[in-house]
Amino acid sequence: MIIDNIGLERYLLRTNPWWATGIVDKARSKISRENLPRIMKELSFERTVQLLGPRRAGKTTTIHMIIDKLIGSGVGPERLLYVSLDDPMLRNFCSEPLSDTLEFFLGNAPKGRNYAFLDEVQKVKGWYEWIKGYHDREQDLKMVISGSSSLALQKEANTYLRGRVISFVQHPFNLREFLGMDGFKIETPHFLDDSLEMSKKYGSIRDHLMEYLRVGGYPEWFQLRTVPDRTVWFDRLYEDVPKKAFYEDIVELFNIRSPRALELLFVFIAQNQSRILSYEAMNRIVGLDRSTILDYLAYLKASYLVIEVPVFSEKISTQEKSMKKYLISDQGIRNGILKEYSIKEENLGFIVENVVGIYLHRFCEENGLSLNYVKSNGEIDFILAGKDRAIPVEVKTSDRFKISSTMKNFIKEKGSPFGVVITDRSAGQFEVEGIMIREVPLWVLLTGNIEKEVWS
C-alpha cells in the first residue's frame, strides 16, 4: 500500500532524473561494457532480463548504460523506471516497495512498452512471485532485475522463474574495458600483423597491462587509483567482494555452519591457483568431508569467485571423478589475499596463466564451449572444446620454450587444426613435426579477437 503518494513521486523523480532532464549521468557510463549489445538485443523479447555477477562488478552501472541506450534509441525517458529496492527511504512512502512502486509507475507511465529496472530485488521477500505475476500479466512491461547477491537471484529464479528469465553475467573489466577507462580505443592487430606496428602498440599499453595483472578488473579501482597506500585497494576489494559473499550471501542462503572454513578453502585455492587439486588436499586444510567440500566449491563457483576447470574427456563421469584445476576469478583478489602487490618474475607465470584462464573461461561461457585441461605424461594448461574440435592452449612466460610432447600428441590424436601458445610478447606461426602452432602475445589475446587467434 502506498503511504505517501506525493513523497513517493518526489523520491522517484530524484532516483530517475532522466524523467526531468531526458539524459543519464554520463559519468556512470564512461565506457560501454562489452555485454551491452547482447542485453539490448534481448530487450526486444518477452523474457525478464536477469543481470548476474559478483559484487562490485558494475551491474548497477550497466543498468544505467541500458537506460541511456534506450533513451538514445528514442524510448521516452518517462517509460524507464529505476528503483533500488534496498533503499530504506522507500519504506517511508509505501509498505510493499516492489509492487507499490511498479503500480505507481504503471499508473503514470504512457500506454505501450515500458521498462522497469529493479536493482537489489533479492531484498524483497518473495520477489520472484511478484516478478512472475507481472511477467505473466503485464505484456507491455519489460523488466530487468539485478542484485548484489547473484547467488540469491540464481537460486530463486531457477526454482520459480524457469523459462521466464534470461541471464547475463556482468564480470569485472576485461583488459579492453580496463584500457577504455584511460581513454584507449586500441585497434589490436592480428597476431601475424607487422611486428614493428605491434611493438609500438604494445609499448603504449604495457604499463596498463602490468597494472591490470596487479590490481585486477574491478571498476572501483579507478576511484582509489591515486591513493598512495596500495594496500587500501586490496583490503577493500577483499572485504567488499569475497568476504561479503562468505559471511552474508552464502551463510544466509544455505545456513552453513562454518563460513570460516569456506574462507580458508578460498584462500587455499588462491595459494594454489592453476594447480590441479585433490579433495584430500582441501580436506587437510579445511577439515571437511568430501560432500561438504563439493558443496562449498559449488557456492564459490555460483558466487563468481572461483572458476573450475575439469580434465578433458569425452566422458562426463571421468570429468567428475578426476581432479580439477581452480582459478580465482579476478587476479586482484588473488594478489590481495597473498599480499603480492607487485609483479615479480617468480610469480609472473602463475599470474599470466590465471588471467588467460579467466579470459578463456568467459569466452567459453558466452559461446557454449567448455574449458578443460589435460594431464597425461605432461600437462596442457587449457583446452577449448566444442562439438567439432578441441584447441590446446599453453601459457609460456619464458622467451625460450619447447612445444611439449603432450601438446603435439593431443593435436595429432584429436585432429586439432593447430595449438596455441600464449607468450609474453612474441608472435608468429610455425610448424613442429607437421603440426601448426600459433604464438599469440598475451596483450593481443586479451585485447584482440579470440575467434581469429585461438578459435578460428
H helix intervals, 216-289? 221-224, 231-238, 244, 251-254, 259-271, 279-286
Comparing CA positions, the residue from 188, 212, 170 lying closest to residue 445 is 188
Calculate the average pLDDT of the chain: 91
Q: Return the pLDDT at 189.
A: 72
Supply the DSSP string of 332-376, one letter for each residue. HHHHHHTT--S--HHHHHHHHHHHHHHHHHHHHHHHT-EEEEEES
Give the pLDDT band of residue 281 (cuts 50, 70, 90): very high
* Cell of residue 52, nine digits: 548476474
pTM of the full structure? 0.92
Report yes or no: 370 and 385 within 8 Å, Cβ to Cβ. Answer: yes
Q: Above 90 in pLDDT, residue 160? A: no
Going from N- to C-terminal start, the domains of the chain cover 5-170, 178-453
Q: Which CATH superfamily is domain 5-170 in?
A: P-loop containing nucleotide triphosphate hydrolases (3.40.50.300)
Q: Which residue has cell 607437421?
A: 434
Q: Return the pLDDT at 420.
A: 96
For the segment 282-323, what is each residue's pLDDT rounded down to a tens digit? 999 999 999 999 999 999 999 999 999 999 998 888 888 899
Supply the DSSP string of 311-328, one letter for each residue. BP-S-HHHHHHS-EEEEE
Supply the DSSP string of 149-184, one letter for each residue. -HHHHHHHHHHH-TTTEEEEE-PSP-HHHHHHTTT-
Higher pLDDT, 199 or 117: 117
For the segment 390-425, what is each residue's pLDDT rounded down to a tens digit? 999 999 987 778 899 999 999 999 999 999 999 987
Q: Above 70 in pLDDT, residue 29? A: no
For the segment 243-280, what is each residue's pLDDT rounded down to a tens digit? 999 998 888 888 888 899 999 999 999 999 888 999 99
* 166/351 Cα distance (integer angstroms): 33
Q: Above 70 in pLDDT, residue 27? A: no
Residue 17, helix vs strand vs coil: coil
For the segment 174-214, what is each residue's pLDDT rounded down to a tens digit? 999 999 999 888 777 777 776 777 788 888 899 999 999 99
Q: How far is CA 157 from CA 45, 127, 151, 185, 282, in A?
A: 18, 10, 10, 37, 31
- pLDDT more than 90, % of the chain: 68
Q: Return the pLDDT at 30.
A: 67
Give the pLDDT band of residue 163 (cuts 50, 70, 90): confident
Give the pLDDT band of residue 427 (cuts 50, 70, 90): confident
Angle (nearest 5°) at CA 366 between 363 and 372: 50
- Mean pLDDT along residues 358-368: 94
Higher pLDDT, 29 or 119: 119
Residue 430, helix vs strand vs coil: strand
- Mean pLDDT along residues 24-30: 68
Q: Return the pLDDT at 376.
A: 81
Tell me which range, 25-39, 130-144, 194-208, is most confidently predicted by mean pLDDT: 130-144
* Cell of residue 80, nine digits: 524507464
For the segment 330-358, what is each residue's pLDDT rounded down to a tens digit? 999 999 999 988 888 778 888 999 999 99
* 102/87 Cα distance (integer angstroms): 15
Q: Return the pLDDT at 28.
A: 63
Q: What is the per-residue burial (b if ≥16 Cβ within 10 Å, else e) of 332-357?
A: bbbbbbbebeeeeeeeeebbbbbbbb
Report yes or no: 284 and 264 within 8 Å, Cβ to Cβ. Answer: no
